[in-house]
Chains A and B, each alone.
Chain A
Amino acid sequence: MGKKVVSILTTSHFDAEGKRCVYGGAERYGIELTKMFLESGWEVNWWQAGLGWSKQLLPGVTIQGIPVKDSFAQTCSSLNQAFYEQADRVDLAIYFVTFLCYPLTLPKSIAISHGIFWDYPSWESRIGGHLQGDEWYHRMEKALSSPGKVVSVDTATINWATWHWPAMLPRFEYIPNFVDTSYFHPLPENKKDDKIRIVFPRRLTTVRGIGEAMEAAKIITEKYTGVEFHFVGRGHDYQHERQMMRWAAQSNNFFYYWRSPMGMKEIYQHMDICLIPSKSTEGTSLSCLEAMACGLPVIAGNIGGLPDLIIHNHNGLLIKPSAENLVESIKQLIENKEERQQLGEHARNTALMFDISIWKERWKSVIQSVIGEEV
């Protein structure tokens, strides 16, 4: 008997020309999912929107770029239809983004929701106004109703969907994101100085609360001169990055740089507090989980999937992400070392429950329920 085959459809693992990959959270999720299938003896192939190219994603794993004609109401019907025709003989189809299930879905299929991305004020105008917004709801309903299962990385998406369409609950499987807790771990306390270091480990975007974090950094460092703020992440473009570098150069307490996902470990290991003050568009953030696994108390925005990870005053602080609230929470943790350390210990223990081994087992169980046999 030959290997089982899974085809995974995504929008853009690589850019349209197939030359560049911006390796963010979703791409890492895709690679870990691929590795899980390979470890289980499956053949994996990927499809995405692209200018008709084919390349290797991992050894033995191809990714095809399919030319796409349209993108209306945040869906890509022609990509979906091309995939439907060309991947029809696979044992399992995975729609890496839920809206890719519209309009046609292969019989044995799973869609993934990486979190709510429509919870910011300009969403409706971005999608093209009220009418396209209505069409988007209609398509979303169809997309969520069609695959065998919908894996959601957070409970917020499930709550949102079942509020709109109550009968949808059984379709959802909650599999929160993962962290490799054997790689991301705390170091024994071995500080060479008495500085308190605070990290903002995200992209420099408004939805991630960059403005609020910068404002808080200014206020805090005026009062506490031994506190450092480390902004670690890329901007949307080089102008943002250059501007941020200039801003950080103004003060001995501000740092700006970026790291690879693996390279973040040693940064977290030397920090005392982590800020994830997202305002929208957030699932169960990999950065949040990795910081927690390294024993950091996280001050997190109370939106998206973050409340699935953070229990206020137990393993971090959950706040409405304003600059004022950030300042108050940071002060609380600066002034109370014992509390900071206890939250960090609890954060590490919480992260263990999100270890990648658990994530893989949960995924295998969902796959089994869709294909009707063991993975």
Chain B
Amino acid sequence: MSLYAMMPVYNEADRYLKHVLNHLSDFVNRIVILDDGSTDRTPKLCRSYDKVIYYRNEHRTFERNEPALRRQLWEHTVELKPDWILAIDADEVFEERAKVEFATLLDETEYSVVDFRLFDFWKSNKYRIDCGWNPWVKNHRMLVKYDPSITSTWSERLLHGGRFPQQYYDIPYAFQSDLRVKHFGWMDIHDRQRKYDFYIERLPDNKHTQSIIDPDEKVQLEEWIPCKTLQFLSK
């Protein structure tokens, strides 16, 4: 069973990209990257990985139309006819134990979509858990078995329209994996401010958007709970 990761990137060279690519290289077959017009060393970094297949837009699409970017990435990926597709961002990594357990997910025949919980790291080894940030109850669809017979359509929502075509969200049996994803996109206070500025313009009344800049006393954090690797599954 082949597993292809697909990932949009934009000016990631000094963020988490190297860490993410090292991590993915351990358990995926290929990493399809769509560079949304980076102006830093991102292209060079991407191309230094054997597993990366690199595509590039000269002009930035994300800020105007995220679904169009996701769709373009999907189309590049499915051209390669993978068995499974992992949609991951350049600031997300699975917990360590996933490396030996991911293969089992791909042997699955009872499920064709898998959801994961995303833990938003806020500082050092802690993630945020208050209100809409509670990672324990939110399942994100990140892994799907590619079905060429499905005619894909995409959500028209310009923000948060999903990482996959709509049809992959309509599949009734999703496996909710216990493998946790560490999301580092909120770690840096400058990233937070930048994202807040972006979302407040587009979703001004959204409570979750407001909560991005909550003062420290309103932010509830929880220490990461380690989970051991199943050594007997290591090859």
Please list the residues of chain A having a beta carbon within 8 angstroms of any beta carbon in chain B: 14, 21, 23, 31, 55-57, 192-193, 197, 238, 241-242, 245-246, 248-249, 252, 255-263, 266, 270
Contact = CB atoms under 8 A, between A and B. Distances in A.
Contact of A246 (B104, B108, B225, B230): B225
Interface in B4-24: none
B178 A258 contact: yes
B136 A241 contact: yes
Contact of A238 (B107, B136, B173): B136
A191 to B, nearest CB: 8
Interface in B205-235: 225-228, 230-233
B105 A252 contact: no
A270 B111 contact: no
Interface string B86-99: 00000000000100
B175 interface: yes
Contact of B172 (A57, A252, A259): A57
B172 A56 contact: yes
B111 A260 contact: yes
A23 B173 contact: yes
B172 A197 contact: no
Contacts of A238: 136-137
A190 B227 CA distance: 25
B172 A266 contact: no
Contact of A263 (B105, B137, B173): B105
9 contacts: A55-B172, A193-B232, A241-B178, A249-B227, A260-B105, A260-B111, A261-B110, A262-B109, A270-B233
A16 B231 CA distance: 40
A266 B107 CA distance: 11
B173 A21 contact: yes
A246 B228 CA distance: 12
B178 A257 contact: yes
B147 to A, nearest CB: 12
Contact of B136 (A21, A57, A242, A270): A242
B222 to A, nearest CB: 9
B227 A245 contact: yes
Nearest to B229: A255
Contacts of B178: 241, 257-258
Interface residues of B, number: 22
B104 A255 contact: no
**What does DSSP make chain A's interface, helix, strand, loop or mixed?**
mixed
B56 to A, nearest CB: 37
A252 B228 contact: yes
B108 to A, nearest CB: 6
Given A255-B230, A257-B178, A270-B233, A242 B107 contact: no
Given A57-B172, A261-B110, A262-B108, A197 B232 contact: yes
Contacts of A256: 227
A21 B172 CA distance: 7
Output the residue of A238, A249, A263 with the most chain B CB within 10 A.
A263
Residue of B226, B227, B228, B233 with highest tally of chain A CB at under 10 A: B228
Contacts of A270: 230, 232-233
A192 B232 contact: yes
Nearest to A242: B136
Contacts of B230: 255, 257, 270
A245 B180 CA distance: 12
Nearest to A191: B232
A262 B107 contact: yes
Given A241-B178, A249-B225, A260-B108, 9 more contacts: A31-B110, A55-B172, A192-B231, A238-B137, A245-B227, A260-B105, A260-B110, A263-B108, A266-B233
B113 to A, nearest CB: 12
Contacts of B226: 249
Nearest to A270: B232
Most central of A23, A55, A57, A256 by chain B CB within 10 Å: A23
Interface string B161-183: 00000000000110100100000
Contact of A262 (B110, B227, B231): B110
Given A192-B232, A261-B110, A266 B104 contact: yes
Q: Specify which of B109, B172, B173, B226 lies most central, judged by the most chain A CB atoms within 10 Å of its CB.
A: B172
B232 A245 contact: no
A261 B172 CA distance: 16
Nearest to B233: A266
Interface in B165-204: 172-173, 175, 178
Contacts of B111: 260
- In the complex, the 4 A-B pairs of residues with the closest C-beta atoms, listed nearest first: A238-B136, A270-B232, A258-B178, A263-B104
A270 B227 CA distance: 18
